[in-house]
Amino acid sequence: AQKVTQAQTEISVVEKEDVTLDCVYETRDTTYYLFWYKQPPSGELVFLIRRNSFDEQNEISGRYSWNFQKSTSSFNFTITASQVVDSAVYFCALRRGSNYKLTFGKGTLLTVNP
């Protein structure tokens, strides 16, 4: 079975702090895909990144960076110099290589205070 665990239910930081959102996944598949989505108060899920299981290279996009480690089955997301606009619920998701459905974690509510 597939499972995604986001152990941090809520995180609160002050603007300009760095923050890391944890994601641990379980799958027996050798081919799989990992995703992060952002859900602001408006409710729409906004795609942030997709990672393939055969590509462990970390990625940086502006203030966002992702650390993918197969050895620990983790796909953590770091926001550098957080801003109030980063406040949202962040979801980590997993998709098997042979299936189209996304399995989501429970989400982490990030609040960035001014």
Partner 1 sequence: GAGVSQSPSNKVTEKGKDVELRCDPISGHTALYWYRQSLGQGLEFLIYFQGNSAPDKSGLPSDRFSAERTGGSVSTLTIQRTQQEDSAVYLCASSFVAGVQETQYFGPGTRLLVL
From the CB of residue 90, how many other CB atoms can be counted at a distance below 10 Å?
24
Q: Is 64 in the site for partner 1 (CB under 8 A)?
A: no
Least separation in angstroms between CB 91 and partner 1: 7
Contact 72, 26 (CB under 8 A): no
Contact 14, 86 (CB under 8 A): no
Q: Is 77 in the site for partner 1 (CB under 8 A)?
A: no
Q: Is 37 in the site for partner 1 (CB under 8 A)?
A: yes
Q: Is 24 in the site for partner 1 (CB under 8 A)?
A: no
Contact 58, 66 (CB under 8 A): yes
Q: Which two tokens stand for residue 74?
A: 């983790």
Q: Is 57 in the site for partner 1 (CB under 8 A)?
A: no
Whichever of 66 and 95 has its CB closer to partner 1, that residue is 95
Least separation in angstroms between CB 93 and partner 1: 8
Contact 15, 112 (CB under 8 A): yes
Q: Where does residue 44 rank: exposed (0-12), middle (13-18), buried (19+ CB within 10 A)?
A: exposed
Q: Is 45 in the site for partner 1 (CB under 8 A)?
A: yes
What are the residues binding partner 1 (CB under 8 A)?
Answer: 31, 33, 35, 37, 42-47, 50, 52, 91, 93, 95-107
